[in-house]
Amino acid sequence: MEYTVYVLKSIDHNYLYTGLTSNLKNRFLRHNSGREKTTRPYRPFEIIFTETFSTRIEARQKEKYLKSGFGREFIKSLME
């Protein structure tokens, strides 16, 4: 099984969401349809970053990095 770390950017708000999933297509649809409580107020979203890993442990490490100060700076650099 593959795991994907992803970053969503709200189209209408100044909001970024970083997550991890084994089914990116389904997860993205859940975010944009309002089925995820955390992101519901910030819909709609676009995907601005994805990276795939072969283990959940590796994916979780990357997710934690992207949620850190250095990781947030990396994400901001992608949007410039």
- Mean predicted confidence (pLDDT) in 2-8: 98
Rounded to 5 degrees, φ, ψ at 23 are -145, 90
Q: How far apart are the first and last CA of the chain?
A: 33
Nearest to 20 by CA among 57, 63, 53: 63
Query: Could you read off the pLDDT of 20-77 as tens digits, one per residue?
Result: 999 999 999 999 999 999 999 999 999 999 999 999 999 999 999 999 999 999 999 9
Total structural domains in the chain? 1
Q: Which structural domain, as residue segments, surrounds residue 44?
A: 3-78
CATH code of 35's domain? 3.40.1440.10
- pLDDT at residue 79 in the model: 86
Q: Provide the whole-model pTM.
A: 0.95
